[in-house]
A and B are shown apart, each in its own frame.
Chain A
């Protein structure tokens, strides 16, 4: 493996993807796109985990990614149900308009 690509490259890519995701959360007003940006940030963190697992020669990083994916699945199920419920009651998922705690 003629490796000019070191782990730092993967970490840099991970940092860039995380930053793009964070920007999406800050800039966009559509709750669905904000949610997708959060998924992007989770994926960036997973890439860092796997890259460092490769670096250390340790499987535990990969196991952790497996758990992150499980938590993400649960999070998406509950989050999307919340978004659908909010849309049904307020007919909007613009987060600037969702500012009341009570239905």
Chain B
């Protein structure tokens, strides 16, 4: 019973945050709403026996990534960019129709014939130690490739910015 109440409460907050992200006129409000949604998802991760992922969600997503977003929004000047909803009316209706179809598609996958998931497995040990062991036993190569990916991203950003600064001089 308590789980149900908490789920509904946090799900409502997560959906409110998502709607705020999409509907806000000001990008700053969008970013703050998205942080709300991400924090609520961290709560769900804890409810789903994934404490490590929950903490990484808070530190990496709600912390690092969204701070980067807010930094860029403020760098560009949010007020000047406000109110860029637009396009013509029929585009909006078409987009809503397509989104509705997408949701119906997801819904039929969930409800139609049942998900065939069966019963829930027993709670397993999923603390940081267990996740770390699994990561370094079975996923060492992907983990190392990830470091290359991050390095490439970093170099890419530096190249983008330095080229532009040279042009600006």
Check if A30 sits within 8 Å of B27, measured CB to CB. Answer: yes
Tally A-B pairs: CB < 8 A. Answer: 237
Query: Closest residue of chain B to A17, judged by CB?
Result: B18
Q: CA A52 – CA B134 in complex, angstroms?
A: 17
Check if A15 sits within 8 Å of B107, measured CB to CB. Answer: yes
Residues of chain B at interface, number, CB under 8 A = 81
Most buried by A among B31, B84, B142: B84
* A4-B48 contact in complex given A67-B146, A81-B157, A88-B164, C-beta closer than 8 Å: no
**Which A16-42 residues have C-beta < 8 A from chain B?**
16-24, 26-30, 32-33, 35-37, 39-40
Query: Closest residue of chain B to A4, judged by CB?
Result: B4
Check if A32 sits within 8 Å of B73, measured CB to CB. Answer: yes
Q: Name the one of B57, B60, B117, B160 contacting A85, with C-beta atoms under 8 angstroms.
A: B160
Q: CA A56 – CA B7 in complex, angstroms?
A: 20
* A43-B61 contact in complex given A17-B18, A57-B121, A67-B142, C-beta closer than 8 Å: yes
Check if B134 sits within 8 Å of A60, measured CB to CB. Answer: yes
Give the residues in chain A near B164, CB-CB below 8 Å.
85, 88-89
Q: Name the one of A15, A35, A51 contacting B48, with C-beta atoms under 8 angstroms.
A: A51
Query: Closest residue of chain A to B65, judged by CB?
Result: A76
Give the residues in chain B near A66, CB-CB below 8 Å.
53, 56, 131, 135
Query: Closest residue of chain B to A97, judged by CB?
Result: B84
Query: Closest residue of chain A to B101, judged by CB?
Result: A19
Check if A96 sits within 8 Å of B21, measured CB to CB. Answer: no
Interface digits, B98-137 against A, CB 8 Å rule (1 contact, 0 not)? Answer: 1100110011001000010100111110100011001100
* A23-B60 contact in complex given A32-B73, A76-B69, C-beta closer than 8 Å: no
Q: Does A78 contact B (CB under 8 A)?
A: yes
What residues make up the interface of A, taking CB atoms closer than 8 Å to B? 1-13, 15-24, 26-30, 32-33, 35-37, 39-40, 43, 46-47, 50-51, 53-60, 62-63, 65-67, 69-78, 80-85, 87-89, 93-94, 96
CB-defined A-B contacts under 8 Å, sample of 20: A8-B110, A8-B117, A9-B7, A9-B11, A13-B11, A23-B95, A33-B30, A39-B65, A43-B37, A46-B57, A47-B44, A54-B48, A54-B49, A62-B53, A63-B135, A67-B142, A69-B61, A76-B65, A81-B156, A93-B84
Q: Which are the 9 A-B pairs with shortest beta-carbon distances?
A: A57-B121, A15-B106, A26-B95, A24-B22, A74-B153, A30-B84, A23-B99, A20-B18, A54-B48
